[in-house]
Copies of this chain bind each other. A is one copy, B any other.
Amino acid sequence: MSIHEIPGGITAIKGITASGVAAGIKKNKQRDLALIYSATPCTVAGVFTKNRCPASSIQFNKARLRKRQGQAIIANSGNANAATGPRGMEDTKWMARVTAQSLGIPEHLVYVASTGVIGEPLPVEKIQQALPGLTAALSKENGRAAAEAIMTTDKMVKEFAVEGPVGQSRIKIGGITKGSGMVHPNMATMLAFLATDASVDPALLQEGLREVTHRTFNAITVDGDTSTNDLVLLFASGQKGSLINQKGKPYQQFLALLEAACSRLAQMIVQDGEGATKFITVQVIGATHDRAARQIASSIARSNLVKTAFFGQDTNWGRIVAAMGNAGVAINLAKLDITFGKIPLLLKGMHQGKEVEAEVNAYLKNKELMLSVDLHEGAGTATFWTSDLSEDYIRINAAYRS
């Protein structure tokens, strides 16, 4: 049996429980404090934002990750605890400490994540008051409540889990994620927490998560902005299967499973993109190498003009060409194919005529769209996922905070 979806999210993994409550950090009284707990210590891998003004939680987790061990994640929404100076770091450390006390586990096994408004001090009293209830509520069922509690401008709860063969065993990976704006590679205002029952060498787990994140969470864009707080954490409990400690077939199977989980979670973020009305897969093939393909895919996926044309359901392929030209990669227009869905509009740089364009116009009325670009130069490929850019994006972001 190959990889298939299973119900639930992060708590689909044996030994993992979670909870989410409303601590009053958000003004709207929705859930804003999440806890994820593993019955046993796990091997941990993490990938962090490349923003040069990272939140205190990012710096904190990076240091913590050196031991590659963890048992719990405490996460709040409504306040990013970013650009909050020395007090910000104290508050992050305090969050880890009180969570460890509440769970009765060593402090160094707790990770901290925050998302929300930047530059305001964390309301620590509210968190302190909510913590006993949060800990008491840990359960399999409350995995969804945890997924709710990390949402900011998200409209849908995002959780997903898969099961598939790894070596002689069947392994599960489940996760929850949030993010709907400021979504761009390296990374979005995006949190993702994943767990697996696989047993993986710490260095390999880290390498694998980094590789898969590059192709999934770092291959999505909503508005080209990258946040101060983004992170992906993966807990491996090691409850099932043999230890994966080399890059053989089991490791490749594990990577495929991890990619199945992460790509679906990443796609959910784009689908929930602020104001998004369309989900667009941008596929670049035939580039001289993968890196060139990725630069072109990214340039198309983040172009405001391309994104508004998709919103307007307009076959404005000239904007796609212009965006490709901005990728900093040499392009031979005389070789270029541009295909919408299965309809080739441009073949070897030649427009296929008004009738074909009319077909593309009709195709663009769909909500899920595929844009393929073939450069016919080599074997380099890349896939990006993006949304259209609508008036609602502006409304949401002009009003946020107020």
Q: Is A60 an interface residue (CB 8 A)?
A: no
Q: Please tell me if the beta carbons of A118 and B83 are within 8 angstroms of each other in the complex.
A: no
Across the interface, name the chain B residue whose C-beta is closest to A388. B398
| 4 other A-B residue contacts (CB within 8 Å) besides A53-B324, A117-B318 | A118-B318, A119-B321, A227-B322, A308-B398
Q: Is A28 an interface residue (CB 8 A)?
A: no
- Among B52, B181, B349, B393, contact of A329 (Cβ-Cβ < 8 Å): B52
Binding-face segment, A162-170, A218-226, A232-240: A218-226
Residue from the set A322, A395, A398 with the largest chain B CB neighbour count within 10 Å: A322
- Binary B-proximity of A287-310 (CB < 8 A = 1, otherwise 0): 000000000000000111100110
Contacts A/B (CB < 8 Å), 17 sampled: A52-B325, A53-B322, A53-B333, A82-B321, A85-B334, A118-B319, A119-B321, A119-B351, A181-B305, A223-B304, A228-B318, A228-B322, A308-B393, A308-B394, A309-B398, A391-B394, A391-B395
Q: Please tell me if the beta carbons of B402 and A312 are within 8 angstroms of each other in the complex.
A: yes
B-chain residues with CB within 8 Å of residue A118 when the two chains form the complex: 317-319, 321-322
Q: Please tell me if the beta carbons of B391 and A323 are within 8 angstroms of each other in the complex.
A: no
B-chain residues with CB within 8 Å of residue A326 when the two chains form the complex: 51-52, 225-226
How many residues from A make CB contacts under 8 Å with B?
Answer: 60
B-chain residues with CB within 8 Å of residue A398 when the two chains form the complex: 308-309, 311-312, 314, 390
Across the interface, name the chain B residue whose C-beta is closest to A303. B225
- Binary B-proximity of A323-341 (CB < 8 A = 1, otherwise 0): 1111111110110000000
CA distance A51 to B389 in the complex (A): 23
Q: Is A1 an interface residue (CB 8 A)?
A: no
- Binary B-proximity of A181-219 (CB < 8 A = 1, otherwise 0): 110000000000000000000000000000000000000
Q: Is A136 an interface residue (CB 8 A)?
A: no
Q: Please tell me if the beta carbons of A119 and B317 are within 8 angstroms of each other in the complex.
A: yes
Q: Nearest Cβ in chain B — how far from A201, in angstroms?
A: 32
CA distance A401 to B310 in the complex (A): 13
B-chain residues with CB within 8 Å of residue A393 when the two chains form the complex: 304, 308, 394
CA distance A327 to B330 in the complex (A): 24
